[in-house]
Each structure stands twice: as C-alpha cells, then as structure tokens.
Amino acid sequence: MTTLYLSVEQVRALHQALVGQFGGASGISDRSGLESAVARPAMTFGGEDLYDDLGAKAAALMHSLVLNHPFVDGNKRIGVAAAEFFLERNASILEASDEELEQLSLAVAEGKMAVEALAIWFRQRLRSAE
C-alpha cells in the first residue's frame, strides 16, 4: 500500500482550522521549519525509508512540528492533529484520549520523548480503519 503523505498546504490549512476552533494566533513563523517537518516522514537513505511504518512516520511528523515551532502559535496542537490526520489518510486510527495526546505533546515539547519512543507509543495505539 502506498503511503499518503501530507503537503505543506494541508498542514497549513489544518492549522488555520485549529486556530479557528480553539483560538490563538495564526501564521507561519518558520516556513523552512514547516517544510522540513512535513517532509520528514517521507525521508529515505539509500532508497530505504528512514521511518519504516506508519507509527514511525506519524511520530516523525509530530516530533518535528512540535519542536520546529513553524507556526506562530499552536505547534503542539498541530503536531497532534497532523499526526492523526496523516494516520487517518492511511487507513489507521489512533486510539488515545485527548488527555493522553496533550500529555504526549507536552513531553515532546519538553524534550522528554525522543522520536523513537514516540514511534513506539504510536505503534501501541494504532488500529486499522478498514
């Protein structure tokens, strides 16, 4: 099955929707940081994916969005939402409560969770939507 990755424009539109729903400032503060974060899940080396499953790819996306701070506001929120949207586009559902996701995004932002640990966390909570 081909992985469906998110575009910069999709993540930007998702951020706008989140700002509209939850409040906060809109706008991109670091375009290259946003582009880097969105590209990270699809990175390869020697023709092989660096992130070899959906859990690892979602983790890479969330980790980069939270830590790169590409938006003026709401970087933790967009990190979670983009990871969930990426998984949904790829016929997977993340089984986690809002509270768990909030704690997870805080742990990433505080540097308490590496991308490898985040990938394990995602893998343990994924199920097929099909």
For residues 37 and 68, is the Cβ–Cβ distance under 8 A?
Answer: yes
pLDDT band at 1 (very low <50, low <70, confident <90, very high): confident
Amino acid 82: pLDDT: 99
Mean pLDDT of 95-115: 97
Q: Which domains does the chain have, with CATH numbers?
A: 8-128 (1.20.120.1870)
State the amino acid at position 130 in one-letter form: E
Of how many residues is the chain composed?
130
Residue 83 has pLDDT above 90, yes or no: yes
Amino acid 129: pLDDT: 83
27-44 confidence digits (pLDDT tens): 999 999 999 999 999 999
Distance between alpha carbon 70 and the CA centroid of its chain, in Å?
12
| 17-51 exposure pattern, b = at least 16 Cβ within 10 A, e = fewer | ebbeeeeeeeebeeeebbeebbbbbeeeeeeeeeb
Q: What is the mean pLDDT of the chain?
A: 96
Of the chain, the percentage scoring pLDDT greater than 90 comes to 98
The enclosing H or E element of 48 equals strand 48-49
